[in-house]
Structure 1
Amino acid sequence: MSSQPEHPTLLIPGPIEFDDAVLQSMSHYSESHVGPGFVSTFGDTLAMLRKLFQTTDPASQPFVLSGSGTLGWDLVAANLIEQGESVLVLTTGYFGDSFADCFKVYGADVTQLKAPVGSRPQLPEIEKALKEKKYKAITVTHVDTSTGVLSEIEQLSALVQKVSPETLLIVDGVCSVAGENIEFDNWKIDGVVSASQKAIGVPAGLSISMFSGRAMKVLEERKTPVAAYFASMNNWRPIMKNYEAKKPSYFATPSPQLIHALETSLKQILAAPVSERFAKHAEVSDRIKKAVADLGLKQVASKPEDQAHTMTAIYLPESVKATDILPALAKKNVVFAGGIHKEIAPKYIRFGHMGVSVLDPKRGDVDRAIKALQDGLAECGYQKA
């Protein structure tokens, strides 16, 4: 049984429910961020991230910074793109739009390739775009939490390698890392940006990313200074290298308690092959999606191959409003999220299923949520046709 106080089960697309041991490691006594104990912990954590991202290339560089997933966008836009350089942003929802906005702040020339709501840009149109113009980078949101759309990275990478191999491939993995398979080396990815509070299973507050040796070379060969201070990789890269080598180093203060929680979570994640973790997320996701279909409901992500395994975006019946079903679920101690995609926001809700809620069936989180959804819809007057 959990030692946590009784509370509603949080099943939004992040933050997620957290494991007891992860939360308990947050209560670690205070220690110096340049003391040997913490330096050792941080070094081990950076080394474990390499295994999670599936990279053995010593030139790859992990970064763990205090911040949210959004900070990852700044890392990419401020460090790898110079003013006026072209970026192709593949957009599957709200977060692709926001990544594009971040690039524009730093002066990039941004082209967005958008798909209809609930789908993703297709390889032929991506190939056409890459042939028409040279891009410094192409970005893709692996799981867009506004739509539940899953993008296919391996085939995209093969296309980029074939058509425009000099273009950097950047993946927004905020809602996918530790829940969806990402093979950093095998898929020739140049950057994955993520965060602690989703499938990695650690309270919010850490920006977690991995960049390739090629991306680091692009950084080194910049013609202009990085137009950021806290988000400058030039400031953070030597710090990360020193920590991983178990040497004390300082640029700005990290969060020791969150780093301890990340170490605990990564040890749990890597205790078994990561492939088993991804398979379990897929298995539970399939069960949830079947339950949604059995209720006569449709997903925002229309095709099975476009549906994420870490969350499900569910269209509501016309007779049911999100403002009715979400409070009904809350009364049953289950918390889902409302819609955030501006074109369809009032029409759908979002069910996040990651981490311990998926991996520890004894908790009963998923079963409780499915039952609450069934009963809540009935209470709102919905009957399957």
Structure 2
Amino acid sequence: MSADRKLCMIPGPIEFHEDVLASMATPATSHVDPLFVPIFGESIEMVRQVVLSEKAQPFITSGSGTLGWDMMVNLLEAGDEVLVISTGYFGDHFAECLEVYGAKITILSAPIGAHPSNEEIKAAVSAKKYKMVTVTHVDTSTGVLSDIKSVAEIVKSVSPETLVVVDGVCSVGSEEIRFDQWNLDIVISGSQKGLGVPPGLSIVIASPQAIEVFKSRKTPVPSYYSNWGKWLPIMNAYEARKPAYFATPAVQLIYALHTSLKQIIAGGVEARFAKHHQVASDFRKTVKDLGLKQVAQSEKDSANGMTAIWLPEGVTLSQLVPALAGKGVQIAGGIFKGRATEYFRIGHMGISVMDDQRQHIQKLKDALTNSLTELGYKA
């Protein structure tokens, strides 16, 4: 590893554990090799454990988290009504994806840094019958944390048949998710954020209700690679420790996922939720003590895996990002439409949070504080 490599403290990809990276050094291995089959099968089972489910069906496929959006083609048919609860860039683009498959989209949004109220959500789902309601658990464009438990309660109380679809790309592995208990239907994620694995795996977790909706659809799935009719037998086979083939899985990435999931489960999922919350709260106190304001408008609506922060007057993004980079820390600019140059984003997930000895969070705090001072900012 080069000496000048910067600590990656963006909202994903995050820092990866050495054992996770070492797992990718596995020699060329067939995807139906008897040594690999149980690795894949155990990974499917451990994904279920991370979201606290006993009955959900995980799909682990090669692709980015965005592939999970496309996989909703398995549940949608042309003309289906979808309510998208949007808290930023990713909610809006999820809507754009679903429109490609013929969904009729209604977007329920809020001012930047906020999310729609429970009353607004209840009014929306009471006014029209929806096939699905989508919500971004953590929208990385704003750092807003949505209350997916309350969303599911509201939706299911009004319309038990409506599917609750959670974009958990920036929440699985860093935010509390209780799949079965909260009556969720879909959680979409990717490998490179809270799960602590290099980019390249799309992970979708589906409830029995969602699988039944897929199986009872009236029209063919208008997709080949994303088609659950192809993937469901593969997932079932590997979990039963039997080889199967539809498309070649990313063998080395699945070895890495297996290693990371073992670490997460060994450390305790509940403890992981709590540690991310504690570190995030402490980091936000540092932000406040510096006189800075975060984009999320309230503490309870603030993500535990990342923070978006408004730039102080007199400091620009083009100054701050290279200033931190010069101190060995990489952060990200904004991406909210029309406001992208007004704030910056910092990730705090995975080993940077769970392993205090690495001092990643302290290095980040020091680099931020010193960079602002050098740029003439006074708290």
Q: Shorter-normalised TM-score: what interval?
A: over 0.9
Which residue of structure 2 lines up, in the alignment, with residue 161 of structure 1? 156
- Distance in 2 (alpha carbons) for counterparts of 1:317 and 1:242: 54
Out of 53, 59, 66, which is 2:62 matched to?
66
Deviation at 1:161, TM superposition (A): 1.7
Return the letter of the residue paired with 2:292.
Answer: L
Return the letter of the residue paired with 1:255.
Answer: A
Deviation per CA, 1:64-109, whole angstroms, max 9, x where unpaired? 0000000000001x11010000000000000000100001111100
Deviation at 1:378, TM superposition (A): 1.1
Which residue of structure 2 lines up, in the alignment, with residue 208 of structure 1? 203
Give structure 2 stretches of 5+ with no counterpart: none
Which residue of structure 2 lines up, in the alignment, with residue 38 of structure 1? 36
- Distance in 2 (alpha carbons) for counterparts of 1:107 and 1:157: 24
Deviation at 1:5, TM superposition (A): 4.3
- State yes or no: 1:238 paired with 2:233: yes
> Secondary structure of 2:266's partner?
coil
The equivalences for 1:297-316 within 5 A come to: 297-316=292-311
The equivalences for 1:1-385 within 5 A come to: 4-6=1-3, 7-57=5-55, 60-76=56-72, 78-384=73-379
- Distance in 2 (alpha carbons) for counterparts of 1:133 and 1:28: 52
Deviation at 1:331, TM superposition (A): 0.3
Deviation at 1:190, TM superposition (A): 0.4
Superposition RMSD in Å: 0.8
> Secondary structure of 1:135's partner?
coil
Deviation per CA, 1:152-198, whole angstroms, max 9, x where unpaired? 01111111121111110000000000100100000000000000000
> Secondary structure of 2:367's partner?
helix
- Distance in 1 (alpha carbons) for counterparts of 2:124 and 2:45: 37
> Secondary structure of 1:36's partner?
coil
Return the letter of the residue paired with 2:282.
Answer: R
- Distance in 2 (alpha carbons) for counterparts of 1:155 and 1:353: 25
Return the letter of the residue paired with 2:151.
Answer: L
Alignment size in residue pairs: 378
- Distance in 1 (alpha carbons) for counterparts of 2:65 and 2:85: 18
- Aligned identity (percent) is 53
Deviation per CA, 1:132-155, whole angstroms, max 9, x where unpaired? 100000000000000000000111
Deviation per CA, 1:2-56, whole angstroms, max 9, x where unpaired? xx54321000000000000000000011111011111111011111111111111
- Distance in 2 (alpha carbons) for counterparts of 1:318 and 1:132: 43
Deviation per CA, 1:239-295, whole angstroms, max 9, x where unpaired? 111011111100000011000000000000000320100100011101110000000
- Distance in 2 (alpha carbons) for counterparts of 1:52 and 1:80: 24
Deviation at 1:235, TM superposition (A): 0.8
> Secondary structure of 2:303's partner?
coil
- Distance in 2 (alpha carbons) for counterparts of 1:271 and 1:202: 16
Give structure 1 stretches of 5+ with no counterpart: none
> Secondary structure of 1:178's partner?
coil
- Distance in 2 (alpha carbons) for counterparts of 1:160 and 1:109: 18
Deviation at 1:296, TM superposition (A): 0.3
- Distance in 2 (alpha carbons) for counterparts of 1:184 and 1:322: 38
- Distance in 1 (alpha carbons) for counterparts of 2:150 and 2:349: 25
- Distance in 1 (alpha carbons) for counterparts of 2:89 and 2:66: 13
> Secondary structure of 2:313's partner?
coil
